[in-house]
Amino acid sequence: MNVAILPGDGIGPEIIAQALRVLKKLDLRIQFQETPVGGAAYAASGDPLPEKTLALARQADAVLFGAVGDPKYDTLPRAKRPEQAILGLRKGLKLFANLRPAVVHPELAAASTLKSEVVAGLDILIVRELTGDIYFGQPRGVREVDGVKEGFDTMRYSAPEIRRIARVGFEAARKRSKKLCSVDKANVLETSQLWREVVSQEAKAFPDIELTHMYVDNCAMQLVRNPKQFDVIVTGNMFGDILSDEASMLTGSIGMLPSAALDEKGKGLYEPIHGTAPDIAGKGIANPLATILSAAMMLRYSLKDEKNARRIEAAVTKVLRDGLRTADIHTAGTRKVGTQEMGDAVVDAL
Ligand code: IPM
Ligand code: MG
């Protein structure tokens, strides 16, 4: 198996290094090929997603990705900004299905800003569409109309795009508690009206799944009011972006959440959902667990190695049970460790 390693910017290289140590400890027959992406690639070659990086990701069986973005590039034209690299990879590799699980490890219930009883035992899955919506809709731009500048974007989904992500949602629900909640803004948006119509049609092929619909504003509220009412949520690119950040805080820290972005054949890009955290980059204190858990998802979905995926997840659970915590999840009575030491502990637990 070939795995492309794209560490990226900020804390990306630090957390990817720990995930690599974990994977290497398992003695799998994987070849790793590393290459810069995002701001790091821009600095090296003037392009956040050089052709060479895209080609490497294309020929790999899976991609392990850190994070991209750097405040020092905020003033670059949009096409050169580090974020374009992840958007270009998702689009270029047709990674339309984004799985973002939010699981509360019992040991971390107290690290959430919500009351422990509200989040203890939480296990939800957000299925986010990743290659359409207002992120990619055309036309878009900044123009001048009658001497007044205006910015505009296009929210757009075709029926087949909605159907294919709905299916991922239904199938995920089938493997879990058989409940699917589709989130939209059908009371206001045309795109969402079509979304709701197509998801409802698709439900006929999944009579064993209980489908509900919810407006996104209500969902944002329900996620903090009573998150355990949800099991699988399926939604569009932008709503999924926002709701998955919100869901991450239910688990105590955004530093804990892995994700998978899959194409129709199961090839995937695996990344923590947090960003580059420029404020703590290079300090050796970032939480590597979201990336280590992303590596576990990679074994599960792209390399079909469920056994080793579970071994990694069990090792993470053990380390948390042993009381080790990076700064973002540290609470009284636990031991605060840095990035490297957290990686050491997971490797030892394996
Ligand atoms: C995410 C990120 C990205 C997104 C950014 C970095 C472009 O926030 O993966 O959720 O908006 O999708
Ligand atoms: Mg986001």
Tens of pLDDT, residue by residue over 248-264, are 889 888 889 999 999 99
Query: In 3D, which of 4, 6, 93 has the Cα closest to residue 272?
Result: 6
Q: Name the domain boundary from 193, 227, 258.
A: 258
Whether pLDDT at 189 is above 90? yes
223, 258, 293 — which closes off a domain? 258
The pTM (predicted TM-score) of the whole model is 0.94
pLDDT at 217: 98
- Say yes or no: CB of residue 86 within 6 Å of ligand 1: yes
Residue 54 has pLDDT above 90, yes or no: yes
Distance 184 CA to ligand 2 centre (A): 17
- Tell me if residue 135 is catalytic: yes
Structure tokens at 269: 């890009």
pLDDT exceeds cutoff 90 at 266 = no
The Cα–Cα gap between 143 and 153 comes to 11
241 lines ligand 1 (CB under 6 A): yes
Cα 127 to ligand 2 centroid, rounded to whole Å: 13
Q: Which of 6, 49, 65, 83 has most ligand 1 atoms within 8 Å of CB, for mutation? A: 83
Domain that holds residue 117: 100-258
Annotated catalytic residue 217:
yes
Assess whether the C-beta atom of 129 lies below 6 angstroms from ligand 1: no
pLDDT tens digit sequence for 126-167: 999 999 999 999 999 999 999 999 999 999 999 999 999 999
Q: Which of 208, 237, 258 is the last residue of a domain?
A: 258
Q: The domain that contains 162 carries what CATH number? A: 3.40.718.10
pLDDT of residue 106: 86
Percent of the chain with pLDDT over 90: 93
User: In sequence order, what are the residues at sequence separation of 6 or more whose Cβ sits closer than 8 angstroms to the Cβ of residue 187?
Assistant: 215
Backbone angles phi, psi at 342, to 5 degrees: -65, -40
Contact present, 270 and 258 (Cβ < 8 Å): yes
Structure tokens at 100: 């973002």
Looking at the structure of the chain, the number of domains it has is 2
Write down the catalytic residue from 185, 270, 301, 305. 185
Query: Catalytic: 185?
Result: yes
pLDDT at 109: 84
Are residues 234 and 196 part of one domain?
A: yes
**Rounded mean pLDDT of 179-205?**
98
- Exposure b/e, 9-33, CB count within 10 A at least 16 = b: bbbbbbbbbbbbbbbebbeeebeee
Ligand at minimal distance from the CA of 238 is 1
Say whether both 140 and 250 belong to one domain.
yes
**What integer pLDDT is reported at residue 103 of this predicted model?**
93
Residue 340 pLDDT class (50, 70, 90 cuts):
very high
Q: Which residues contact 152 (CB under 8 A, 6 or more apart)?
A: 139, 140, 141, 142, 143
Q: Is the pLDDT of residue 108 over 90?
A: no
Same domain, 63 and 84: yes
Same domain for 290 and 251: no
Same domain as 252, residue 218 = yes
- Clarify whether residues 60 and 207 are in a common domain: no
Residue 208 is among the residues annotated as catalytic for this protein: no
Listed residues: CB within 5 A of ion ligand 2: 241
Q: Is residue 71 domain-shared with residue 158, that is, in the same domain?
A: no
Q: How high is the pLDDT of residue 144?
A: 97
**Is the bond preceding residue 139 a cis peptide, omega within 30 degrees?**
yes
Q: What is the pLDDT of residue 253?
A: 84
CB burial of residue 239 (10 Å; 0-12, 13-18, 19+):
buried
Identify the pLDDT of residue 112.
87
Q: What ligand has the least distance to the C-alpha of 272?
A: 1
| Catalytic entry in 241, 267, 301, 328 | 241
Residues 185, 130 within the same domain: yes
In whole numbers, what is the pLDDT of the chain averaged over residues? 96
CB 99 within 8 A of CB 297: yes
